[in-house]
Amino acid sequence: MRLSICIIEEGFRIMLFMQQRFIRLVVFVVLAFNVMLSGNHVLAAGDQNVKAAPEDIQGFIRRVLPNHPRFIAAQAKLDSVKANLNAAEQAIYNPELELETENTDIRTTTLGISQTIDWGDQRGAKTQIAKHQVDAAQARFQQERQLLIQDLLITLSDYQNKTRLAELSNQRSKLMQEFYTLARKKHAAGDINQVELVLAQLAYNETVLNNATIVAEQVAAEQTFIAVFGQAPGAGGYHLPDIAIAFQEVNVPADLDVYILTLPQMRMVRANVAASKTTIALRESESSADPTIAIRGGKEDEESLAGLTLTIPLNVRNNFTAEIEAARKAYLQTEQLAQQAYRDLKSDIASRTRQYQLIQQAWQQWLSTGKVSMDRQLKLLKRLWQAGDLSTTDYLVQIKQNLDTQSAGIELQSTVWSSWLHWLGATAKIESWLQLNDIRNQ
C-alpha cells in the first residue's frame, strides 16, 4: 500500500513539474517561432469581423475614455489642425491704404490703395497642404485613440494579474510558514535531522523574499493604474471588468496589401506624402513674381491728381530654385519612408497574428488539460491527506508545486491578453471589438 502511494505521489510531482515547465516556456517558444516567421507561416483567410468584447469591458472603456487627458489632448490637437485649414483658406495679401500730404509752396494731398495679387496661387497650395494635414491629423487621432485604449486595457490587465499573483504568493508564504513550523516540531520530536530542518528554513526564507518582490510588483502595478486612470482601483464607484475573456481565433486579414492602406498609420503616412508633394507646388508659387497694383487720387492745389502704379518684383538675384529643389528632396524622402512604413506594417500584422495564434493555442490547451488536471490533483491530494495516506510534509510540498503551476497559468493569461490587444492594435480592430463606433467617427 505504501509503495503504491509513493508511486502516485511521484507521478503527481512529475505531472506538476511538466505543466509548470510547459507554461513558463511557452513565451520562449513563441519568440522562437517569431524569429523564423515568414510569409509562408501565416495562412491568410477571409477578412473576419472580431466578436464584440464583453459588455462590462465596453462600458468600462466608454466611461474612462472621453474624460482621459490623453484623449482630450488628442482631440484638441486635431481641432488645432482643422483651425489651420481655415487659416490657410484666407487671402495671402491684404490691401494697403496710403495717405500722403505735403504742404510747401504747393499743397499736395493724395489717397491711394494697393493690392498685391497672388499670381502663383499660394493660397490654393497652402489650402491643399492644410487639407492633407487634416487628413493626417484625423488618422493620427484615431491611432492615438486606439493606443490609449490599448494602454488602458494593458494597465488594467497588469494590475489584476499582479494582484492575483500577490494573493497566490501570500497563500504560498502562509503554507510554507506552516511547513517550516511543522518541520521544527518534527525536529524537536526527533523525526527529522538538522539538515532537513535547515532545508525547510531555507525554503521558507526564499518564499518570504519572493513574496516581498511579488507584493512590491503589485504595488507598482497599482501605482501605474492610478497614474493612467487618475484614481485608485475601484474608486469613483465604477466596477473593474473581468479580463478573463474567451480569446477568439484570428487570421491575417484577406487582401492584406489593400487592407494596410486603410489603417490609420498608413493613412497618416500617405497624407503626409501628399502634403509634401503639394509643398513643391507651394515653393513654385512662392517663386512667382506677384504684381502689385496701386490706384491713387488727390489734389495739387486746385488741380486734381490720378495715378495707376504697377509693381513687379524681379527675381534676378534669387530665383528661389533652391527652395523648390529642397522641397523635391523632402518629398522623395517622405515617399521612401512611406514605402518602408508599408513594409513594417505588413510585417507587424503577420508577426502579431502568428504570435497570438501560438499563444492562444497554448492557452486553449491549458484550459482543456492543465487547469482541469490541476483541480483534479488538488482534490485527490486533499483526499489522500485527510485519509492519512499522505504525510503533511509531502502534502505541502506538492501544494507548493501546484501553486507554481497556478502562477504560471496567471502569467500565461497575462501573455495571451497582451498579445490579443497588440493584434487588435496592429490591425486597427480594437475599437470595433469594443463597439466604439460613435467615438471612432468623431
Please give the single-letter amino acid code of residue 152.
L
Rounded Cα distance, 163 and 215, in Å? 8
Backbone φ, ψ for residue 297 (5° rounding): -155, 160
The CB density around residue 385, as the number of other CB atoms within 10 Å, is 17
Residue 15, pLDDT score: 47
Which residues are paired to 109 by β-bridges? 101, 299
Instruction: Name the CATH superfamily housing domain 2-440.
Output: Outer membrane efflux proteins (OEP) (1.20.1600.10)
Residue 356, pLDDT score: 93
Residue 16, pLDDT score: 46
Residue 272, pLDDT score: 95
Rounded Cα distance, 368 and 246, in Å? 13
What is the full per-residue pLDDT of the chain (442 aa) written as tens digits? Answer: 443 444 444 554 544 444 444 444 444 444 344 433 333 333 333 345 788 888 999 999 999 999 999 999 999 999 999 999 999 999 999 999 999 888 887 888 899 999 999 999 999 999 999 999 999 999 999 999 999 999 999 999 999 999 999 998 998 888 788 878 877 887 888 877 787 788 778 888 988 999 999 999 999 999 999 999 988 887 766 788 888 788 888 888 888 999 999 999 999 999 999 999 999 999 999 898 899 999 999 988 888 889 999 999 998 888 889 999 999 999 999 999 999 999 999 999 999 999 999 999 988 888 877 555 566 776 787 677 556 677 666 777 787 788 888 888 889 999 999 999 999 999 999 999 998 876 544 4
For residue 197, with 0-12 CB atoms within 10 Å meaning exposed, 13-18 middle and 19 or more buried, which class applies?
Answer: middle
Rounded Cα distance, 268 and 256, in Å? 18
Close Cβ partners of 40 (under 8 Å, ≥ 6 residues apart): none
Q: Where are the domains of the chain?
A: 2-440
Backbone φ, ψ for residue 207 (5° rounding): -65, -40
The three three-digit cell numbers of residue 251, written as one number: 487570421
Residue 315, pLDDT score: 87
Residue 405, pLDDT score: 82
The three three-digit cell numbers of residue 3, written as one number: 509503495
**Are residues 240 and 233 in contact, defined by beta-carbon separation less than 8 angstroms?**
yes
Smallest CA-to-CA distance from 433 within 361, 422, 442 is with: 422
Backbone φ, ψ for residue 42 (5° rounding): -115, 125
Residue 208, pLDDT score: 92
Total residue count of the chain as it appears in this document: 442
Residue 401, pLDDT score: 80
The H helix count followed by the E strand count for the chain is 13, 4
Question: Residues of 126-155 as b/e, b for ≥16 C-beta within 10 angstroms?
Answer: bbbbbbbbbbbbbbbbbbbbbebbbebbbb
